[in-house]
Amino acid sequence: MVDRPGLIAPEIADKYGVSIHTVTKSWAQHPEWPISVGKRGRYKEYAASNIADFVRDHIERQAVELEPRRLYTAQQLEDAGIGIKAGTIRADLTRGRWPEPDDDEGGVNRWYGATAAQALDGRRGYRRTTQGDA
């Protein structure tokens, strides 16, 4: 068997645990997607190191440290750099994909940092968040 330094779409999908559709129709459409280094069969081949760099820089979201006992609004979570817009949090809340707020005093939804971190752990593309001392 020949050890290849390049990856094709099915191998990229397998390596990163996503569908081939995600690789070809989402990731490969990104303006920063690496240039192919050749072709293997019907697929373009990409340098494995370039794919790893792309995933690190554009797909994986860095862990954000949230204070577990602090209450955050959706906007404060966005500003903390969790990688999700406040509008997405509100939309996901109405669709049941984000936890109910821990507090809604004054009509403003707020979540404890621990609640938000747990919600982020369940979303694809996030590195495990680090919690400070509780």
Q: What does DSSP say about strands 6-7 and 111-112: parallel, antiparallel, or unpaired?
A: unpaired
Range of the domain at 28: 6-59
- 67 part of a folded domain: yes
Residues 101 and 50 in one domain: no
Residues 76 and 39 in one domain: no
What tens-digit pLDDT sequence spans the chain (134 residues)? 455 679 999 999 999 888 999 999 999 999 999 999 999 999 999 999 999 999 988 887 666 789 999 999 999 999 998 888 999 999 999 999 999 999 999 999 999 999 998 898 877 554 443 344 33
Residues 68 and 125 in one domain: yes
Residue bearing tokens 């690190």: 56
Tell me the C-alpha to C-alpha distance, in Å, between residue 53 and each of 49, 58, 76, 85, 99: 6, 8, 29, 24, 32
Alpha carbon distance 72, 5 (integer Å): 45
Q: Number of folded domains in the chain?
A: 2
Last residue of a domain, one of 18, 43, 59: 59
Residues 27 and 41 in one domain: yes
- 1 part of a folded domain: no
Q: Identify whether the C-beta of residue 27 lies closer than 8 Å to the C-beta of residue 54.
A: yes
pLDDT at 50: 95
Residues 70 and 125 in one domain: yes
DSSP character at residue 3? -
pTM: 0.56
